Chain A
Amino acid sequence: RKEVEQDPGPFNVPEGATVAFNCTYSNSASQSFFWYRQDCRKEPKLLMSVYSSGNEDGRFTAQLNRASQYISLLIRDSKLSDSATYLCAGTSGTYKYIFGTGTRLKVLA
């Protein structure tokens, strides 16, 4: 089992929709989690950090469920510009980060 797992998608949603992605992790000792956005052939860019129960930034909400070992990302009022791959990452040990394979989102006009 991979340490961090994501549904690769693609998730095709209409503009204005609400979409949610989950990311499960197997290392119960992981302390910190992150959501990154990656556009095609570009580097990952940090979207949100999730250190405790959750975090909200505008249309984006991230939540952490330690009991079930998953983090989620909710995007409200989807925009065409939200189309990208969303990577989740968790810490492993004292400094290592493990990434999921990413979830592709396509927002359709």
Chain B
Amino acid sequence: DTGVSQDPRHKITKRGQNVTFRCDPISEHNRLYWYRQTLGQGPEFLTYFQNEAQLEKSRLLSDRFSAERPKGSFSTLEIQRTEQGDSAMYLCASRAGLADEGEQFFGPGTRLTVL
């Protein structure tokens, strides 16, 4: 499978626990995005990497959220001290190229439920 992959697909955790999600983009894609999506809403931008550099982080991300892409390939998104409001689908997307235009391709998402 040469598409974007995400792991785990589902995560149930108790409030206050830390969780980490992984995204493996399409191999030649240097741009990687994280989004959060809740029911009835479109994907909301969280953060963006170009290669290993994190170029933007949304103000939606509190300091409990951190993302890395250490070697410019896979990325991780960590949420510390989870809250019930963090329950959502976390989507990763990647795209190729240096141009500002271009299609993004999404992974299957990680569905987080915080009890």
Contacts and interface: CB of A to CB of B under 8 A. Distances in A.
Contact of B107 (A8, A34, A43, A91): A43
Interface residues of A, number: 25
A61 interface: no
B103 A95 contact: no
Q: Which of the four size classes fits the interface of chain B?
A: 20 to 34
B103 A34 contact: yes
A74 B111 CA distance: 31
Given A91-B100, A95-B31, A45 B42 contact: no
B42 to A, nearest CB: 3
A57 B86 CA distance: 38
B106 A44 contact: yes
Contact of A46 (B56, B89, B105): B105
Given A49-B103, A95-B56, 5 more contacts: A31-B101, A34-B104, A43-B107, A101-B41, A101-B42
Interface of A: 4, 8, 31-32, 34, 41-46, 49, 51, 87, 89, 91, 94-102
